[in-house]
């Protein structure tokens, strides 16, 4: 039956309850105020030895509502190709190891995002202010520099500490259409592109470099997905609607630069003999099901996992059937399994690579305000630059990697539960409506479907026999229950 939502139902309170249920700490930490005062004083003091790059036309590109800005980008054309600089917020200089805020970040491991409330890994005074690369503010950063040659290969890597200044805070939603040469339906434009001298040419050069990187990754076998995400519109804690948001040229630009920066960091640490934490996606857990799914489309994949062959199929499907490509790519993403953190021992054999990115060297380093693994990587980089002993033993890094994996699983549970609650509220008036969708999970816990519009997920409670991941179906919305985060569908 249709669960009627109590007038007093509080989505924000539900998010807090989910966090507590999954073992996350909520509330202020003892000693954090004193530490924040110390951090503010330390960041205001002169920092010798930094490259002063405040004169460059740095910009950030993120979501419309993002306030924890971890990266800035800049590019210039050289004789070797396009030199790209990615400035990463220097959180390690502010949050020292074994301090109260470090202990809290280590316990939580990441910022958890829900539609109605975000739970930051670090206090907002840091993540959205002192260590955020905010517009028109001088900030310390670790710069990852590389040149993209005419083939899209990365050459001449360098890593160093610098002082930077964000000249333009931009958004995917308005910059993407501009890069693609198409107007937004609502007529919104990115005014800064036209009012800041040189920014238009700077962004086009960044886009050129990103396109070269993307083409090279695809040639090496990286999987190129075109995902559609649900973006709830929540005002004053009340769900107004759910919009479908698709990747665009601006989000592809940032994704390309972040992949390149993370690869550069991993390779540099490996070359220096420093142990680190890698982010890997092993060979797909259910490759045989991927083979079956692809065979139904008329293509035969090898019996053993082959990212290049899979991507060739994906690109052909994207061109032949762009409307249904997002649901196909989603099914394959689900079948690949989640990424995980692992220890990479300095001077030893390489850790497993990242199957989806066709990358043998990959770490997480570009979001230290909101991921603890990135903060750990940044501390290792600092030690490398200063030629000092590593801040962590291999046993410590292995334990941190495992804890990050455990908390990653918990965070996904919180985010999924809240996505379903928000969707349940939004779909409350749609009981009995038919939806097209794709099966995203089939296991002893149940069979799950993700409908296309709006892009939300629920359980198939009747008629699920014989359905498997990747099957496209027509389902009927049977009931919603925001209190228990249930959205139930039936299959004819």
CA dihedral 383, 389, 390, 396 (to 10 degrees): -150
The two tokens of residue 348 are: 């030893």
Q: Does 48 reside within a domain?
A: yes
**CB 94 within 8 Å of CB 39:** yes
- Identify whether 300 is part of a domain: no
Q: Inter-axis angle of helices 394-426 and 100-108, to 10 degrees?
A: 60
Segment 164-205, tens digit of pLDDT:
999 999 999 999 999 999 888 777 888 999 999 999 999 999
Give the Cα separation of 54 and 193 in Å (integer). 19
Answer yes or no: are the C-beta atoms of 90 and 140 closer than 8 Å: yes
Q: Burial letters for 99-109: b for 16+ Cβ neighbours within 10 Å, e otherwise? A: bbbbebbbebb
User: In 3-state terms, what secondary structure has residue 89?
Assistant: strand
Q: Which residues of 144-181 are buried (b: 16+ CB within 10 A; e: fewer)?
A: bbbbbbeebebeebebebbbbbbbbbbbbbbbbbbbee
Phi, psi of 315 (to 5 degrees): -65, -40
Please answer whether residues 156 and 82 qualify as being in contact, where contact means their C-beta atoms are separated by less than 8 angstroms.
no
Handedness of CA 41, 46, 48, 51 (dihedral sign): positive
d(CA 440, CA 455): 12
| Structural domain includes residue 348 | yes
Residue 33 belongs to a domain: yes
Give the DSSP letter of residue 478. Answer: E
Q: What is the DSSP string of 232-284?
A: EEEETTEEEEEEEEE--HHHHHHHHHHHHHHHHHHHHHHHTT--EEEEEB-S-
Residue 265 lies in a domain: yes
Q: Which domain holds residue 151?
A: 11-281+340-423
Radius of gyration, alpha carbons of the chain: 23
Q: What are the phi and psi torsion angles at 154 (to 5°)?
A: -95, 125
- pLDDT tens digits, one per residue of 308-327: 788 788 878 878 877 667 66
Phi, psi of 333 (to 5 degrees): -60, -45
Total domains, the chain: 1
- Give CB contacts under 8 A, 24+ apart, made by 238-247: 239/11, 239/115, 239/422, 239/425, 239/426, 241/426, 241/454, 242/422, 242/423, 242/426, 242/454, 242/455, 242/456, 243/454, 244/452, 244/453, 244/454, 244/455, 245/173, 246/326
Q: What is the pTM of this model?
A: 0.85
pLDDT at 237: 65
Helix (H, G, I), strand (E, B) or coil at 31: coil
Phi and psi torsions of 33, nearest 5°: -65, -45
For residue 353, report the phi and psi dihedrals to the nearest 5 degrees: -85, -170
Contact at 8 Å (CB) between 284 and 290?
yes
In this structure, is residue 481 part of a structural domain? Answer: no
Give pLDDT tens digits along the chain (492 positions): 334 444 456 888 999 999 999 999 888 776 788 899 999 999 988 888 899 999 999 999 999 888 999 999 999 999 999 999 999 999 999 999 999 999 999 999 999 999 888 999 999 999 999 999 999 999 999 999 999 999 999 999 999 999 999 999 999 999 999 999 988 877 788 899 999 999 999 999 999 999 999 998 887 766 666 666 777 777 666 777 777 777 899 999 999 999 999 999 999 999 999 999 998 876 676 888 889 989 988 899 988 887 778 878 887 887 887 766 766 777 777 787 778 898 999 866 555 565 555 555 778 999 999 999 999 999 999 999 999 999 999 999 999 999 999 999 999 999 989 988 988 988 888 999 999 998 988 888 899 998 988 888 899 999 999 998 888 899 999 999 988 889 999 998
């Amino acid at each position: 039956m249709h669960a009627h939502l109590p007038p007093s139902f509080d989505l924000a309170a539900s998010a807090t309850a989910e966090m507590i249920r999954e073992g996350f700490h909520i509330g202020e930490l003892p000693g954090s105020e004193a530490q924040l005062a110390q951090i503010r004083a330390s960041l205001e003091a002169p920092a010798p030895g930094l490259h002063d790059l405040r004169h460059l036309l740095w910009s950030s590109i993120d979501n419309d509502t993002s306030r924890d800005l971890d990266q800035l980008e800049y590019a210039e054309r050289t004789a070797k190709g396009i030199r790209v600089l990615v400035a990463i917020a220097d959180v390690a200089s502010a949050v020292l190891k074994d301090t109260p805020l470090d202990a809290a970040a280590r316990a939580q491991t990441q910022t958890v995002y829900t539609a109605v409330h975000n739970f930051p890994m670090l206090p907002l005074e840091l993540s959205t202010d002192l260590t955020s690369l905010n517009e028109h503010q001088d900030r310390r950063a670790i710069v990852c520099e590389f040149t993209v040659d005419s083939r899209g290969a990365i050459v001449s890597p360098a890593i160093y500490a610098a002082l930077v200044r964000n000249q333009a805070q931009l958004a995917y939603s308005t910059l993407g259409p501009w890069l693609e040469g198409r107007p937004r339906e609502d007529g919104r434009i990115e005014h800064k592109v036209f009012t800041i001298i040189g920014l238009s040419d700077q962004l086009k050069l960044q886009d050129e470099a990103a396109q070269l990187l993307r083409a090279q990754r695809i040639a090496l076998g990286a999987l190129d997905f075109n995902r559609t995400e649900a973006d709830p519109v929540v005002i004053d804690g009340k769900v107004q609607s759910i919009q479908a948001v698709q990747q665009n040229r601006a989000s592809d630009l940032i994704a390309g630069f972040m992949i390149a920066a993370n690869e550069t960091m991993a390779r540099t640490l490996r070359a220096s003999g420093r142990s680190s934490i890698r982010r890997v996606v092993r060979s797909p857990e259910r490759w045989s099901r991927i083979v079956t799914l692809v065979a139904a489309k008329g293509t035969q994949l090898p019996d053993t996992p082959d990212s290049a062959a899979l991507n060739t199929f994906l690109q052909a499907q994207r061109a032949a059937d762009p409307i249904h490509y997002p649901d196909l790519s989603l099914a394959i993403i689900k079948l690949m399994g989640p990424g995980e953190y692992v220890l990479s021992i300095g001077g030893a054999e390489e850790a497993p690579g990242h199957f989806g990115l066709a990358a043998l060297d990959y770490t997480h380093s570009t979001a230290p305000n909101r991921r603890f693994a990135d903060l750990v990587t940044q501390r290792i980089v600092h030690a490398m630059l200063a030629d000092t002993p590593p801040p962590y033993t291999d046993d410590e890094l292995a334990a941190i990697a495992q804890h990050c994996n455990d908390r990653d699983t918990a965070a996904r549970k919180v985010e999924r539960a809240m996505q379903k609650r928000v969707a349940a509220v939004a779909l409350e008036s749609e009981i009995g409506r038919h939806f097209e969708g794709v099966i995203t999970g089939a296991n002893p816990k149940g069979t799950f479907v993700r409908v296309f519009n709006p892009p939300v997920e629920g359980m198939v409670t009747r008629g699920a026999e014989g359905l498997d991941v990747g099957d496209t179906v027509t389902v009927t919305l049977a009931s919603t229950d925001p209190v228990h985060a249930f959205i139930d569908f039936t299959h004819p």
